Amino acid sequence: DAKTTQPTSMDCAEGRAANLPCNHSTISGNEYVYWYRQIHSQGPQYIIHGLKNNETNEMASLIITEDRKSSTLILPHATLRDTAVYYCIVRPQTYNNNDMRFGAGTRLTVKP
């Protein structure tokens, strides 16, 4: 069973904010929301993660709704190099359970 649902693809204009949604309506209380991205033919790259508070780092911001059933990854000023597949993953914080399940993700295309 897929734990997250994401749009298959999105476009964004260069310099604009890219807002990538993710639904995780069955998320459990101990599950974190993670975002990774994969630029073509490269390994996935960690972006950000959070539990219930909004988070921000040098790459992006993560907005999690109060009921935690959905989240949005925000790239504030998208560049052409942000074109990639973006994965939203939910996983619990447990000891020695490193299972991380990738779905199909959202293919973001940043256009000039």
Partner 1 sequence: ETGVTQTPRHLVMGMTNKKSLKCEQHLGHNAMYWYKQSAKKPLELMFVYNFKEQTENNSVPSRFSPECPNSSHLFLHLHTLQPEDSALYLCASSQAPLSSYEQYFGPGTRLTVT
- Residues in touch with partner 1 (CB under 8 A): 32, 34, 41-46, 49, 91-105
- In the bound state with partner 1, the residue whose beta carbon lies nearer, of 52 and 91, is 91
Q: How far apart are CA 71 and CA 33, in angstroms?
A: 8
Both ends of the chain: CA-CA distance in Å?
A: 37
3-state secondary structure (DSSP) of residue 82: helix
- In the bound state with partner 1, the residue whose beta carbon lies nearer, of 14 and 38, is 38
Q: How far apart are CA 29 and CA 11, in angstroms?
A: 32
- In the bound state with partner 1, the residue whose beta carbon lies nearer, of 7 and 14, is 7
Q: Give 57: exposed, middle or buried? Use CB within 10 Å, 0-12, 13-18, 19+.
A: exposed
Least distance to partner 1, CB of residue 53, Å: 14
Least distance to partner 1, CB of residue 15, Å: 27
- In the bound state with partner 1, the residue whose beta carbon lies nearer, of 28 and 77, is 28
Least distance to partner 1, CB of residue 82, Å: 17
